[in-house]
Amino acid sequence: MRLHFLRISGIILSAVTLSGCGYFDSRNAHRAQIEMIGMTSYDLQACAGIPGSVKKLNNTTEIWQYSASKTLTTLSGDSGFFPVQSFVNIYQSALGGGGNSCHMILRLDHDRVSEIHYAGNDDEYIGTDGICSLITRGCGRQRESTMHRVNAGPFGPVSAFHSPAIAPQSSSATYSEQSGKYVPKFSDDKTVPLIQPAK
What is the value of pTM for the model shown?
0.67
Residue 130 near residue 26, CB atoms below 8 Å:
yes
pLDDT at 33: 94
Q: What is the pLDDT of residues 15-55, one digit of tens each?
A: 444 445 789 999 999 999 999 999 999 999 999 999 999 99
Residue 31 near residue 48, CB atoms below 8 Å:
no
| Element of type H or E holding 194 | none
Predicted confidence band of residue 192 (pLDDT cuts 50, 70, 90): very low
Predicted confidence band of residue 2 (pLDDT cuts 50, 70, 90): low
CA dihedral over 171, 175, 180, 181, signed as positive or negative? negative
pLDDT at 59: 93
What backbone torsions phi and psi does residue 64 show, to the nearest 5 degrees?
-110, 145
